[in-house]
Structure 1
Amino acid sequence: MYSRTNAVWQIIKSVLAALFGVQSQQQLHQDFNQQSPWPFIIIGGIVIVGLVVILIAIARQATAI
């Protein structure tokens, strides 16, 4: 059994792998067998918002030079 911390890291790894398109079929099936999709949706939203914020910061830094 996974502890709560390990489960969160596993969800983060799954979200990042899916985002970059490198998730294995085995992991995909394991993710879809979870009871609720909400942890994946919430962490996925946080990751996307973080990525957008980083890209905006890079663009602002590049245009300020």
Structure 2
Amino acid sequence: MDERKVTVWGIIKSVLAALFGVQSQQQHQQDFKHSSPWPFIIIGGIIIGVLVITLIAIAQQATAI
């Protein structure tokens, strides 16, 4: 049995892979096998928030020109 500790960097990589749709089913199952889904949800929310803020800033810059 693989008793790996899930690191913050590992969570970020998993969230980004899932966001872009390239995460394997095996990796998905491994992520949630030994840990709670809450760190993934929180980091996913932060990443989505940063993405939305970035897109809003880009749109405002584009319309200001």
Q: TM-score range by the shorter chain?
A: 0.7 to 0.9
Provide the rounded CA distance (Å) in 1 between the counterparts of 2:28 and 2:37. 12
> 1:5-43: CA deviations, max 9, x gaps?
x70000000000001100012211111213311100100
- Aligned residue pairs total 62
Q: Distance in 1 between the 2:11 and 2:30 partners?
A: 11
| SS at 2:22 equivalent | coil
**Equivalent position of 2:28 in the other structure:** 28
- Computed over aligned residues only, the root mean square deviation of the Cα atoms, in angstroms, reads 1.4
Give the TM-score of the pair, scaled to structure 2. Answer: 0.86
Structure with bigger helix share is: 1
CA distance in 2, matches of 1:34, 1:44: 18
TM-score, normalised relative to structure 1? 0.86
Identity of aligned residues (%): 74
How far apart in 2 are the matches of 1:54 and 1:34? 33
Q: 1:13 matched to which residue of 2?
A: 13
What 5-or-longer segments of structure 1 have no aligned partner? none
Q: Does 1:45 align with 2:23?
A: no
For residue 18 of structure 1, give the secondary structure of its aligned residue in structure 2: helix
Paired residue type of 1:10 = G
